[in-house]
């Protein structure tokens, strides 16, 4: 499973495991977990990240915190995950 590393506000590096990714209205989103789902650990916390970099820059992500955006993107991820399970 693909893993990305984000830097916390205090400089600590935090690993996240990419569960799914999609692009909506030209914005790239990742559904990530703080635990590796391939290891069967379902106690992890899921988050949605939005790519905020542009062009050829290294990809930079931030957490989606707006409730309306979260709900809209989560519904797309639910459909994608269900398709993977079928």
Instruction: For the chain, give the percent of residues with pLDDT over 70.
Output: 92
pLDDT at 86 over 50: no
How many Cβ atoms are within 10 Å of 51's Cβ, its own excluded?
A: 16
Q: Where is pLDDT greater, at 81 or 67?
A: 67
Q: How many alpha carbons fall within 13 Å on the CB side of residue 75?
A: 6
- pTM for this model (two decimals): 0.84
Question: How confident is residue 1, by pLDDT bands cut at 50, 70 and 90?
Answer: confident
Q: Give the model's confidence band at 51: pLDDT under 50 very low, under 70 low, under 90 confident, else very high.
A: very high
3-class DSSP state for residue 10? coil
């Amino acid at each position: 499973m693909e893993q990305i590393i984000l830097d916390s506000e205090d400089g600590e590096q935090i690993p996240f495991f990419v569960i799914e990714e999609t692009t909506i209205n030209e914005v790239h989103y990742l559904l990530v977990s703080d635990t590796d789902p391939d290891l069967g650990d379902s106690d992890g916390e899921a988050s949605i990240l939005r790519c905020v970099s542009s062009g050829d820059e290294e990809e930079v992500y931030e957490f989606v915190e707006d409730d309306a955006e979260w709900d809209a993107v989560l519904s797309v991820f639910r459909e994608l995950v269900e398709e993977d399970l079928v």
